[in-house]
Amino acid sequence: MKTLQGPAIFLAQFMADEDPFDNIESMAKWAANLGFLGIQVPIGNPAFIDVAQAASSKDYCDELNGRVRACGVEITELSTHLEGQLVAVHPTYDRLFDGFAPAELHGRPAERTAWATEQVKLAARASRNLGLKSHVTFSGALLWPMMYPWPQRPAGLVEAGFAELARRWRPILDVFEDCGVDCCYEIHPGEDLHDGVTFERFLAAVDDHARAHILYDPSHFILQQLDYLAFIDIYHERIKMFHVKDAEFNPTGRAGVYGGYEDWMNRPGRFRSLGDGQIDFRSIFSKFAAYDFDGWAVLEWECCLKHQEDGAREGAQFIRDHIIRVTDKAFDDFAAAGTDDAANRAVLGLG
């Protein structure tokens, strides 16, 4: 049995232009002071990582790892959420997602896709040079505007969408294979990979690619009313990363899963700081211990109520309290009879 690692923290929601949130060393020290042991780092800010240099230079990565470890934490994984989103964008969202790309690519979707694809490949190579096992990204979405079947979807539309998504991602996954790094898709509303069924569709379309895996975040499942514990039972062999994020779902007579276009404060489903929502983390951590998950438990803070620094401080202790140090013995070993094959046969009446 294996013990899960942590706590770690995803930096994306905390990065800012002011100290200590404006560079990797200051944030590493901040995280260490809160009790975190690791940091998950988005690739898009050169004050945190120069992903092109990291992809090409092991020396740069060794130096970066050394600087971060000197601050009391380690880099657990890299993230390309924004870049992965841009690998596949339906034209409906072109203008909204242009903001994820450099200004010179705005209004040029084909070039934007090519840029995003290259960024994710660079992140795979950078992960290898940093000595990391896993990477997190979004799948992007060609079919999300057709999520609800009205108007009726034309025959073959879903199949065509997943075939194209697979065509775009397969070369990226091959780079991850070459680098020995797992590519973990955060299963997330707004992505074509937003639940177990859609992940299975994608996995089939990429011929069960050995590097196509899952980042598990139960908050996205409770908002969909998906059984987030059964999800672990079904997909534990493909779950390689874990975002520890809480949420709640309180439907009313006015709104449910779809949220009525309300803001986060007024939606029935909303994200909460750890311990303030409804997710059964004791059962989640128990399942991960039983399935020998030895990845990192990474706090992702998203809450419409609590201040982010309070959420981070409380979250470090929350994760620490939930990590199960797995046992190295059976509780009933004291009663072991010490029998052998001959004795077992005798007990069974086999002579």
Residues 98-107: pLDDT tens digits? 999 999 999 9
Grade residue 343 by pLDDT with cuts at 50, 70 and 90.
confident
Q: What is the mean pLDDT of residues 113-119?
A: 98
Asked if pLDDT for residue 333 goes beyond 80, the answer is no
Q: pLDDT at residue 330 above 90?
A: no
Residues 199-216, mean pLDDT to the nearest whole number: 98
pTM of the model: 0.96
Per-residue pLDDT, averaged over 183-206, amounts to 98
pLDDT of residue 221: 98
pLDDT of 34-87, one tens digit each?
Answer: 999 999 999 999 999 999 999 999 999 999 999 999 999 999 999 999 999 999
Q: What confidence score (pLDDT) does residue 336 get?
A: 75
Question: SS3 for the chain, per residue?
Answer: CCCCEEEEEECCCCCCCCCCCCCHHHHHHHHHHCCCCEEEEECCCCCCCCHHHHHHCHHHHHHHHHHHHHCCCEEEEEEEHHHHHCCCECHHHHHHHHHHCCHHHCCCHHHHHHHHHHHHHHHHHHHHHHCCCEEEECCCECCHHHCCCCCCCCCCHHHHHHHHHHHHHHHHHHHHHHHCCEEEEECCCCCCCCCHHHHHHHHHHCCCCCCEEEEECCHHHHCCCCCHHHHHHHHCCCEEEEEECEEEECCCCCCCCCHHHCCCCCCCEEEECCCCCCCCHHHHHHHHHHCCCCCEEEECCCCCCCCHHHHHHHHHHHHHHHCCCCCCCCCCHHHCCCCCHHHHHHHCCCC
The reported pLDDT for the residue numbered 31 is: 98
Mean pLDDT, residues 213-241 taken together: 98
Q: With bands split at pLDDT 50, 70 and 90, how would you rate the model's confidence at 345?
A: confident
The confidence score (pLDDT) of residue 339 equals 75
The domain that holds 169 is classified in CATH as 3.20.20.150
Residue 344, pLDDT score:
83
Residue 171 belongs to domain spanning: 5-347
Number of domains the chain is built from: 1
Per the listing, tokens 């940091």 go with 39
**Arithmetic mean of pLDDT over the chain:** 96
pLDDT bin (cut points 50, 70, 90) of residue 125 is: very high
Q: Is the pLDDT of residue 334 over 80?
A: no
